[in-house]
Structure 1
């Protein structure tokens, strides 16, 4: 298993990485962590990681993600479930938006203060991923689009790439911790990424992301920007600080050891 998987992360904070992803037990079990520091965009960082590694399965993870004990064994079991129905799969995610718009998880989000996403009984085809965890089958030949700048929407873009090429993109039950900080509002960089994906995939719209709907008119973006501003106080009250140890968050979620679930 150590040779089958590699974890790749775009890193910008030594402390956040040390407190979360670097503490994941799978790294102590021989699975390598490849770090890309201070890249200009997620796509650039992740393609560099693809070029620098050779493992058949690449686990792209945010630096503030924590994988509980046994997660890699559970991933291997979930891949087997996907391969039973889709031998040429391209992508697997821990949190995605189904073709029916359902949010598929479950994952813990500190910024929301809860476990989010429906627990799937079987792999679910998706139209987008939350970028916190994206698992890529190297044999698919998929790569991230480096013309997309910034750090948003690349989960929607690569899923759409896969679907256009006839490659499966699936959400499966892979519980993990996203120890993300609360963000009061969506910034100009988010709007820029929205517009880029809107232009690129105009013929495939609408597309539902975990946060908004990419539509031809863009009205959904304006609505959701307004809603984010209006709900900032409420959402701040829901958020959990990132000071709690990642292992304690996993314990509170009942995910201290996922190996028994594999």
Structure 2
């Protein structure tokens, strides 16, 4: 019987440290990225590279790609990155050091990257692209609410995912992933890891359509609603005043029930004396 029983304990064990995953549309450009990564030190047995083939048609997008990669990866860290980045500056040793520093600051971080914005709209970035060389703004690591999609490091010891069944496309999957991490109580960070991105980014009609889809999803998540649990019922909205108003009567009723039980217990104890 004991052959069928397994005890789970300790930290998760991963067979590799880094898994690189890319949505590939140009194989020559993808190979250039992989070769630059290997020259930067990502060439040992604890590294793996794989891609989704989108040359002829979009088999995967940012949302479905990340979720599938999380299931396929063997690395402790999933690096979901664009095919048009080059590891021209910082090497693997630097990334190892940056993540070690991040682990010391926040052992339960969710996602890290090289560019993002915090809740006040402040930008934190460490990158070079056709418009800016050696761009560095902010003190790192910095906690943010969103990250840029060009280079995402996902901490696979947590059960992270994108909202694949509600959202599609190639925009805003990073903020979706980051906000899902925050809903689990995790933080996301920009770290000081310098690489080259051939494109400064593109905002077109598809971006604004993705933005509207994300807004619609967030409205659906945050709309006012009554919840019925097995032992209680309560109201939740994005208004603190409404939450207090609709839940106050239930809180008072629960308090009265607790007090009645307490008085009953005291009375029973007194009768036994």
Same structural fold, with TM-score higher than 0.5 when normalized by the shorter chain: yes
Q: Find the residue that maps to 2:157 and give its secondary structure.
A: helix
CA drift of 1:91 comes to 0.8
Provide Cα deviations, 1:73-111, integer angstroms capped at 9, x if missing partner. Answer: 21221112222221111111111112332211210122x
Query: RMSD across aligned C-alpha pairs, in angstroms?
Result: 2.3
Superposed structure 1 runs of 4+ greater than 4 Å apart: none
Say how many residue pairs are matched.
200
For residue 179 of structure 1, report the CA deviation from its aligned partner.
1.1
Correspondences of 1:61-76 after superposition (within 5 Å): 61-68=81-88, 71-76=91-96
- Show CA shifts across 1:197-244 (max 9, x none): 11222377xxxxxxxxxxxxxxxxxxxxxxxxxxxxxxxxxxxxxxxx
Specify which structure has the bigger relative contact order, considering alpha-carbon pairs within 8 angstroms and separated by 6 or more residues: 1
* Higher deviation after alignment, 4-13 or 70-79: 70-79
Secondary structure (helix, strand or coil) at the match of 2:109 reads coil
Contact 1:65 1:132 in 2 (8 A): yes
Distance apart, 1:181 and its partner CA: 6.8
Q: Which residue of structure 1 lines up, in the alignment, with residue 51 of structure 2? A: 35
In structure 2, the residue matched to 1:138 is 156
Is the contact made by 1:98 and 1:128 (CA closer than 8 Å) also made in structure 2? yes
Deviation at residue 54 of structure 1 after TM alignment: 1.6
Q: Deviations over 1:91-147 (max 9, x none)?
A: 11111112332211210122x344444142x31110111100110010111012213
Which position in structure 1 is the counterpart of 2:9? none
CA distance in 1, matches of 2:43, 2:23: 20
Aligned pairs for 1:51-200 (under 5 A) are: 51-68=71-88, 71-110=91-130, 112-120=131-139, 122-146=140-164, 147-180=166-199, 183=202, 186-200=203-217
Q: Which has the larger radius of gyration?
A: 2
User: Partners of 1:130 and 1:199 in 2: how far apart?
Assistant: 21
How far the C-alpha of 1:191 sits from its partner, in A, is: 1.5
